[in-house]
């Protein structure tokens, strides 16, 4: 099916028309952009029929298209590594929050599992939020298993700030693949599967069973995904002993490994005060109280920032951050409102005493005046840490594999939150690791990209890590 979806000035002030193209055998909708109308394309005989090959071969002499159905000239696509093509195919499946349709992603992954002879099971605890688990059965399936987790959803985009359509997975000549989810974290999901494909092709058999989970909802808290799944019967049946999940890219040559996370606390503070006319000196206003509350939170922020900046040995995960993220109140410019609300996002390092911190926050509110209330929109009390010493055989296996490849690894507390917190809260060890070194951290940013060579190297890295962890002796 080929249809015009819009005509719009694309880049450089050039008027272009975008087409949506759906091939009967294609997994997802593809897009092409052209300076010509559909009628002109037919007149120029560059588009003869609604066939995939015609669109793939679509070129216009004297003009370059912004992107084609594949984002690539056809001859280049042919020589592309299959793993890279799979990665780009997955990136083109739009699973953007806040209302992702996971159906096409599940279909793509189920077909993928079939290719690899992996059994699958879908658990849908909350409607519209399927959890897919693939299983590669080990030599001894009675042993506790290894879980490789990734989330299917991605965060929203501001397309006007992107070089390319964020859901086209355009690959530049230098191998950089631009797409939402290229770092966070569709790359990792595909790397797990392609590593399994490589191991299988070598006839490798692993002692323990590996489960590969693809979960929804992570980018909005995982409350409809992993949080429920870890307590579900289907999860218990997996008999997981150790899990791997996402980490972060690193600009330098070393790889970051995350063994814990900061606990998110989202606090909404409501100040109530005397209303009145905007021309008067009303006493005891909501705004005055709110100012004192904001000052306390932001003073604390400055203190923590100073601790971080004064010690080059620690990462951001080792301090507490706080940001003032939402403000609400007022009805019109000349009315002093009776109520104003401020919301703060605090991330707390695992070594922080939580009750002491809560007492300190309550003290700030008390000092700011009367009639101030606070509601926790999120209050995570988990301070579980996965040990990174020789008491943890999973860590030793992981580290042994990294050492054998000569990888420089650096352990840190994850600065934000991932689904690992639910796994660790359930008492299981979990490591956060996305094999992306020499890569700028662009998760949730405009122009998120991953270089194909870094992506492919990641598959080789998992080819060492997976046997190491799945062969940890009983
Ligand atoms: Zn993520």
pLDDT tens, residue by residue, 133-180: 999 999 999 999 999 999 999 999 999 999 999 999 999 999 999 999
Which one is catalytic: 165, 168, 218, 412?
218
Residues paired with 327 in a beta bridge: 342
- In the reported structure, the alpha carbon of residue 152 is separated from the centroid of ligand 1 by a whole-number distance in angstroms of 9
Q: Is 218 designated active site?
A: yes
184 is in an annotated binding site: yes
CA 384 to chain centre: 21
- What the chain holds in terms of domains, given with CATH numbers, is 2-78 (no CATH), 80-246+434-470 (3.40.630.10), 263-379 (3.30.70.360)
Strands 335-336 and 372-379: unpaired
Question: What is the tens place of the pLDDT at every residue in 173-231?
Answer: 999 999 999 999 999 999 999 999 999 999 999 999 999 999 999 999 999 999 999 99
**78 band by pLDDT with thresholds 50, 70 and 90:** low
> Rounded CA gap, 34 and 383, in Å?
53
219 is in an annotated binding site: yes
> Rounded CA gap, 321 and 300, in Å?
9
- In the reported structure, the alpha carbon of residue 409 is separated from the centroid of ligand 1 by a whole-number distance in angstroms of 20
Neighbours of 99 (CB within 10 A): 6
The answer to whether the Cα torsion of 416, 418, 422, 428 is positive or negative is negative
Query: First vs last Cα of the chain: how many Å apart?
Result: 54
Nearest in space to 286 (alpha carbons), one of 361, 371, 377: 371
DSSP character at residue 60: B
CA 442 to chain centre: 10
Question: What is the tens place of the pLDDT at every residue in 12-56?
Answer: 323 333 444 443 343 333 444 444 444 444 443 333 333 333 333
Ligand 1 (single-atom ion) residues, CB below 5 Å: 184-185, 246
- In the reported structure, the alpha carbon of residue 267 is separated from the centroid of ligand 1 by a whole-number distance in angstroms of 23
- In the reported structure, the alpha carbon of residue 185 is separated from the centroid of ligand 1 by a whole-number distance in angstroms of 5
| Residue at token pair 């399936």 | 141
| Residue at token pair 């209303």 | 275
Q: Is 227 designated active site?
A: no
C-beta separation of 129 from 102 below 8 A? yes
Residue 224 token pair: 């409809």
Per DSSP, the three-state class of 410 is: strand
Say whether pLDDT at 66 is over 60. no
C-beta separation of 216 from 120 below 8 A? no
246 is in an annotated binding site: yes
Q: Which pLDDT does position 335 carry in this prediction?
A: 98
Q: Which pLDDT does position 73 carry in this prediction?
A: 44
- In the reported structure, the alpha carbon of residue 151 is separated from the centroid of ligand 1 by a whole-number distance in angstroms of 7
Say whether pLDDT at 382 is over 70. yes
| Residue at token pair 């009390």 | 381
| Residue at token pair 């995570």 | 380
Give 315's contacts (C-beta < 8 A, 6+ positions apart): 412, 413, 415
- In the reported structure, the alpha carbon of residue 444 is separated from the centroid of ligand 1 by a whole-number distance in angstroms of 9
- In the reported structure, the alpha carbon of residue 112 is separated from the centroid of ligand 1 by a whole-number distance in angstroms of 21
Which one is catalytic: 89, 153, 194, 217?
153
């Amino acid at each position: 099916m080929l249809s015009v979806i819009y005509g719009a000035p694309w880049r450089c002030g050039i008027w272009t028309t975008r087409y949506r193209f759906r091939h009967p055998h294609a997994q997802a909708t593809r897009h092409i952009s052209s300076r010509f109308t559909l009628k002109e394309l037919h007149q120029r005989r560059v588009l003869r029929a609604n066939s995939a090959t015609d669109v793939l071969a679509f070129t216009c002499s004297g003009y370059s298209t912004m992107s084609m159905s594949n984002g690539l000239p056809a001859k280049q696509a042919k020589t592309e590594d299959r793993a890279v093509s799979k990665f780009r195919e997955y990136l083109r499946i739009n699973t953007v929050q806040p209302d992702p349709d996971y159906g096409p992603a599940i279909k793509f992954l189920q077909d993928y599992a079939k290719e690899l002879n992996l059994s699958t099971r879908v658990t849908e605890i909350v409607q519209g939020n399927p959890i897919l688990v693939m299983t590669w059965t080990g030599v001894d399936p009675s042993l506790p298993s290894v879980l490789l987790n990734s989330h299917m959803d991605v965060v929203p985009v501001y397309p006007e700030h992107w070089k390319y359509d964020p859901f086209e997975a355009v690959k530049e000549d230098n191998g950089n693949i631009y797409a939402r989810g290229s770092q966070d974290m569709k790359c990792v999901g595909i790397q797990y599967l392609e590593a399994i494909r490589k191991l299988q092709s070598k006839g490798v058999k692993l002692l323990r069973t590996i489960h590969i989970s693809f979960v929804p909802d992570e980018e909005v808290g995982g409350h409809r995904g992993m949080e429920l799944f870890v307590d579900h019967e289907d999860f218990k049946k997996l008999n997981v002993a150790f899990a791997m999940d996402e980490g972060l890219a690193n600009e330098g040559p070393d790889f970051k490994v995350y063994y814990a996370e900061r606990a998110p606390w989202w606090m909404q503070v409501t100040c109530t005060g005397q209303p009145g006319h905007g021309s008067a000196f009303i006493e005891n206003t909501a705004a005055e109280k709110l100012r004192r509350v904001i000052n306390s939170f932001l003073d604390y922020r400055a203190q923590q920032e100073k601790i971080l900046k004064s010690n080059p040995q620690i990462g951001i995960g080792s301090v507490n951050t706080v940001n003032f993220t939402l403000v609400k109140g007022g009805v019109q410019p000349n009315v002093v409102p009776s109520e104003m609300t401020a919301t703060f996002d605090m991330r707390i390092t695992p070594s922080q005493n939580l009750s002491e911190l809560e007492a300190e926050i309550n003290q700030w509110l008390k000092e700011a005046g009367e009639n101030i209330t606070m509601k926790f929109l999120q209050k995570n009390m988990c301070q579980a840490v996965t040990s990174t010493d020789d008491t943890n055989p999973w860590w030793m296996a992981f580290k042994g594999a990294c050492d054998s490849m000569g990888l420089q690894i650096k352990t840190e507390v994850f600065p934000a939150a991932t689904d690992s917190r639910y796994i660790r809260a359930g008492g299981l060890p979990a490591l956060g690791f996305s094999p992306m070194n020499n890569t700028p951290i662009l998760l949730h940013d405009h122009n998120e990209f991953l270089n194909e060579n870094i992506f492919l190297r990641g598959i080789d890295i998992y080819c060492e890590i997976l046997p190491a962890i799945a062969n940890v002796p009983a």
